[in-house]
Structure 1
Amino acid sequence: MLEVIFEGTLWKCRLIAILAVIFGLIGSISLFLIASYDIVVISEKVYMFFFGGYRPLNFHELLIEKIIGAVHLYLVAVVMLIFSFGIYELFISEIDDRKDEESKILAIHSLDELKDKLGKVVIMVLIIGFFKRVMDIDYSSPMEMMYLAGSILMLALALHFMHKPFLKGQR
């Protein structure tokens, strides 16, 4: 009797994961809205550049920085969204309201699947973050340019090996 009560209580405790789902979705929606706001603001500046006489000297750098920043926020929002869907499907319930069974981007059936999907998006977030920081660096020596080239090579290799099947234990 005690074992049945304990196991039932233990099974119901998995529902606490709904907090991660709810707050993950709130975070994701917030980031989508903030990134969209950033794009709207920069769009107004682009409009003013072409039609309003707005001509700052560093306009191209400003434009690229804001767009890369928005892409970075969008990718972090996607990480939060995938995390929320994954936690919900793993701990709460499988989502039944899928119209298109071919779309499996948010279908997560194991913790390893969730880690793989999150890992790929996190790598892209890091690459975009790296790109954003590289835009702000002033290069004063040839060695710094070599470091930049080496960093880009390492990122390219990481992306290449991330898609190789032998890293997943397959041949």
Structure 2
Amino acid sequence: MKLFLEKLLWNSRYMTLLAVWSCVVGMALLFVSSAVDMGVLLVEYVNVEFLGHEYDGDFHTAVVSHVITAVDDFLLAIVLLIFALGVYELHIDKIDFARDSETAGKLLQIESLDDLKDRLGKVILMILIVAFFKNVLHVKFDDPLNILYMGGGIFLVSLALYFGHKAGESEH
């Protein structure tokens, strides 16, 4: 009975493949949908800038907002990729192609749960920074308090990047 239970527990790690495949599907959907959105934005840009079609509102702000949203989606897709690779390497098996590949780099090679957490944390920090700057586009600077909030936000983003960089240096 003990042997059966241990074998069942050990083989239950294969349930993590559901998370791995779900992340791969989500990553693919985000990459494809963001790329399609960029293609639609390109067509719209050509229509407005070169063919003279009308656009309601500030077109430049809309373009920048779409591009930032695409970058945000691409970063989220990268989080899903790193998570999928990390969970697979930690629970199932090492990925031989990543070990033998010069292009895989250290980013995609996960050695421990802390390693996975650190890598995900850095990319998630970048997602938050991108989201912050996307929201900055819609801030109206008609109130001095808004300008103060903007300065404080930029300071906090800079501080987060500084500490993230320092944490990366101490690991090496």
Q: TM-score, normalised by structure 2?
A: 0.91
Shift of 1:167: 8.7
Residue-by-residue CA offset, 1:43-99 (whole Å, 9 max, x unaligned) = 112212332112535111111011001101111111111111100110111111234
Unmatched runs of 5 consecutive residues or more in structure 2 = none
1:129/1:104 Cα in 2 relative to 1: closer, same or farther (>3 Å)?
same
Contact 1:90-1:108 at 8 Å conserved across structures: yes
Shift of 1:158: 0.6
Shift of 1:139: 2.7
Q: Which residue of 2 aligns with 1:127?
A: 129
Amino acid paired to 2:32: L
Q: Which residue of 2 aligns with 1:22?
A: 21
1:134/1:165 Cα in 2 relative to 1: closer, same or farther (>3 Å)?
closer
Matches of 1:109 and 1:70, distance apart in 2: 30
User: What secondary structure, in the 3-state scheme, does the structure 2 residue paired with 1:94 have?
Assistant: coil
Q: Which residue of 2 aligns with 1:104?
A: 106
Q: Which residue of 1 aligns with 2:90?
A: 90
Matches of 1:88 and 1:118, distance apart in 2: 15
Shift of 1:6: 1.6
Q: Percent identity?
A: 37
Residue-by-residue CA offset, 1:138-168 (whole Å, 9 max, x unaligned) = 2321121011011101100110111114996
User: What secondary structure, in the 3-state scheme, does the structure 2 residue paired with 1:162 have?
Assistant: helix
Matches of 1:115 and 1:148, distance apart in 2: 29
Matches of 2:168 and 2:109, distance apart in 1: 23
Q: Which residue of 1 aligns with 2:59?
A: 59
Aligned pairs for 1:1-171 (under 5 A) are 2-56=1-55, 57-98=57-98, 99-101=100-102, 103-165=105-167
The number of aligned residues is: 169
Unmatched runs of 5 consecutive residues or more in structure 1 = none
Shift of 1:104: 2.2
Matches of 1:15 and 1:29, distance apart in 2: 22
Q: TM-score, normalised by structure 1?
A: 0.91
RMSD between aligned alpha carbons?
1.9
